[in-house]
Amino acid sequence: MPEHWYTDSDLYRFSDYRLTDGGHQAVTRERLRRRQNMADAVLGTTFPGLLLDGVDEPRKRAIAEPFRRLRAALDNEHWFDVIGAAKDLVEAACKVTIELSGAIPTPKADLVALAKQAQRARGDDEATPLSRSVTATVQRLAELRNDMGAGHGHSELPEVAHRAGKLAASSACGVAAYLLTAD
């Protein structure tokens, strides 16, 4: 039997102990690994693979850059930036989809109008439930970005729940994947 029993209070008093540099680095690596695993779960594993075989480099970069920013914001748990990057990813996917069809994106069109134009460019029937769902998702993402995402100035920085950020990211990836994959 040990001579000294520690109470719960003793065990939770971390200020009495110093973390070594190696321990601090290990904790930092573990936190990063967990955040990256969370980002992978939110983004899914298939999206990076659809970066458009046979498409020119400028258009690939147009999709890859907002996706990279989305991933970085998720990895760092910057939910405000996640929402802005999610909207940018959808906007880029819409514009690339429209251009790949040979059309020109409507100048200064809002995100919902671009999504509808991209769906028409794909040959989708706007009356189908799937098409209406994509449009509704894009509408909600645009509203979320306007209310609390990066890209617009705010008089007060809004609180963004991690759930809202994760939903925006996964929704944006779903819409972009839908627009950019051929049937």
- Per-domain residue ranges of the chain: 19-180
Note the pLDDT of residue 96.
93
Q: What is the Cα–Cα distance from 151 to 141, expressed in whole angstroms? A: 13
CA angle 6/11/12 to nearest 5° reads 150
Q: How far is CA 56 from CA 49, 66, 100, in A?
A: 16, 17, 10
Those residues of the chain that have pLDDT short of 50 are: 1, 46, 48-49
Q: Which two tokens stand for residue 99?
A: 């251009």
Q: What is the Cα–Cα distance from 117 to 126, expressed in whole angstroms? A: 10
150: phi then psi, degrees, rounded to nearest 5: -65, 150
User: The whole model's pTM is what?
Assistant: 0.75
| pLDDT tens digit sequence for 5-24 | 656 665 555 555 566 777 76
Mean pLDDT of the chain, nearest integer: 80
| pLDDT tens digit sequence for 104-126 | 999 999 999 999 999 999 999 98
